[in-house]
Amino acid sequence: MSRISGWLAGVFYESFCEFSIIGIQFADMITRQLFISSFITVLVILQFLSPLKGQGISSKGTKDMQSDLKVLKLTSEHADPVIGPEHADVVSSGNKSGFETGQVVKVDSVYHMFVNEMFERPHRDLRIAHWTSKDAVTWKRQSTIVSSIPGRTHANPRAEVWVTGVVFNEEEDAWNIFYVAYRGGDESKGEIAGSDYQGRIWRAMSTVKGSDGIAGPYADMGIVMEPDANSQEWEGQQAVACFNPYKVGNTWYSPYDGHNYIPKGGWPTGLAFAPKLNGPWTRMPQGFNPIRLADVFTENEVVSQLKDGRYLMIYDSLGDQEIGYSTSSDGLSWTRETRVKVQSSKNKWAMPGDHYTRTPLCAIEEKNGTFTVVYTAMMNVKDRNFYAIGKCSLAWK
C-alpha cells in the first residue's frame, strides 16, 4: 500500500470522525441509525484502504520503522516502594490499605499525582488525594480532592470514587479531573453486594485558573457519561468504568471500560468522543467498540501523545509485576497489548499474581527519551496487605 493511499485514508478517517460528532448530535432517531450504519461501513472500508491499525502509519503518511521494531523495556527501577505503609504522610493521613488507580502528570519540573487512597478497606473505602514530587521518588501529600460518601449500599451513588483522568483544558484555562462514582450491588435484585455497579463519570474543574491551578480546589461540573439508552451490550453491569480524555486534532477521545458480573465476563474497553472536553460525549458505535486490546483484561487506561506524534496507552493488565501498553498512529486504531515488566528478578517487592501489580499511573516521556512510570502494587507487610506506589523507567529497546 502506497504512502499516498495511507495518507488519503488517514485524512478521510479523521474528517469522518469529526463530522460524526455533528451528525450523531443532531440527527433524529432514524437518521441516527442510518448514520451509525454508514459510520461502521466506512470504518470497515478504511481497514482495506489504509494499514492504520498496528502498522505505525500516521495520517501524514510517515512510518516510524524504528518504533515498529522496538518494545518498551525496563531500564531502571527504585529498589523499594517510593510510598509504602511507613511513609510519614501515609501514617498521618490514616491510610491503612494504600493506593489504587489515578494519574500522574508533570507540570514544569514537578510531578503531580492524583490517586485514590484506600484509607480503610481496600477497594471499598476511598478518597482522591493530591501528592507532589520533584523526582517521582520523594513524595509529599498535599490535600484530599474528593471524598466518597460513607456507607456502601445500592442506594448510595457515591459509595466509591475513583480518579482516572487529569487533563488541562485550554478552552477553559483550567485543570480537569475525571472520576468514577459507583453504587453497591442490590441483593434483592440478584446483584452482588460487594461489587461496583452503574459507574458514572464525573468531571471536576479547578476553581483556580491557569496551569498553576492544578492543586485546586476542584468543583464538580456534572456527569459526562453514565449508563443510559446508548449503553452497549458489552459494557455490562459495572460500566461506565475509567475515563481518560486525550485530544486528536479538534476532537476529544477517551477510553472507557466495562464488565459483567452475572454471568461473569471479561473486562473490555471502548472509545467515546466529544467536540469539547465538557461534552457532549458519544460512544463510538458498537462494532467499532469494544476495541480489541487484549483477550481478557485491560483496565484504567492512561493515554498520552508521544513526541513523534504517536499515542501511547498504558493500563492495568495480567502477569507478575507487569503492566500492559498499546500504541496508535491516529489515536483510534490501537495495537494489541504488549506487556512489560516493571520490577526486575532481583528486585521483586510486589506480590506475584495477575492482579497484585495493579495500575500504571503514567508513562511520562522525559527529555532523555526514557519514560517515567509510577504504578501501584500490593506488598505484604507484617501479614497485612498494602497497595504501595512504585517507580521505574522504561525505554524503547
Confidence at residue 39, expressed as pLDDT on a 0 to 100 scale: 52
What number of residues does the chain have?
397
Q: Which residue, 157, 148, 161, is CA-closest to 185? A: 157
Q: What is the dihedral of CA 207, 217, 252, 23, to 10 degrees?
A: -60
Q: Compute and round to an integer the Cα radius of gyration of the chain.
A: 21
Q: What is the dihedral of CA 197, 216, 277, 375, to 10 degrees?
A: -60
Contact 369, 320 (CB under 8 A): no
Confidence at residue 124, expressed as pLDDT on a 0 to 100 scale: 84
Angle, alpha carbons 270-57-366 (nearest 5°):
80
Confidence at residue 32, expressed as pLDDT on a 0 to 100 scale: 44
Residue spans per domain, the chain: 3-49, 65-396
Find cell 511507613 and name the residue.
Answer: 86
Region of residue 368 (left: phi > 0; alpha: psi -120 to 50; beta: else): alpha
Q: Give the side-chain half-sphere CA count within 13 A for 198.
A: 17
Phi, psi torsion values for 66, nearest 5 degrees? -60, -50
Confidence at residue 41, expressed as pLDDT on a 0 to 100 scale: 42
The enclosing H or E element of 160 equals strand 160-169
Q: Which residue, 392, 360, 361, is CA-closest to 131? A: 361
Confidence at residue 373, expressed as pLDDT on a 0 to 100 scale: 98
**Cβ neighbour number for residue 384 with a 10 Å cutoff:** 10
Measure the CA–CA gap between 175 and 318, rounded to whole angstroms.
32
Confidence at residue 315, expressed as pLDDT on a 0 to 100 scale: 97
Q: Is 365 helix (H, G, I), strand (E, B) or coil?
A: strand
Contact 292, 336 (CB under 8 A): yes
Confidence at residue 225, expressed as pLDDT on a 0 to 100 scale: 98
The string of DSSP codes covering 22-69 is HHHHH--HHHHHHHHHHHHHHHHHHHHH---TTS-B-TTS-B-HHHHH
Long-range contacts of 344-349 (CB under 8 A, 24+ apart): 344/74, 344/77, 347/77, 347/79, 348/321, 349/80, 349/81, 349/377, 349/379, 349/388, 349/390
Measure the CA–CA gap between 117 and 125, rounded to whole angstroms.
8
What's at 347, amino acid-wise? N
Question: How is residue 233 annotated by DSSP?
Answer: G
10 Å CB burial of residue 300 (0-12, 13-18, 19+) is buried
Find cell 497497595 and name the residue.
Answer: 387
10 Å CB burial of residue 294 (0-12, 13-18, 19+) is buried
**Cβ neighbour number for residue 397 with a 10 Å cutoff:** 11
Using 70 as the pLDDT threshold, list the residues of the chain that sit under it.
1-69
Q: Which residue, 18, 22, 24, is CA-closest to 37? A: 24
Architecture of domain 65-396: 5 Propeller (2.115)
The enclosing H or E element of 4 equals helix 3-26
Confidence at residue 194, expressed as pLDDT on a 0 to 100 scale: 86
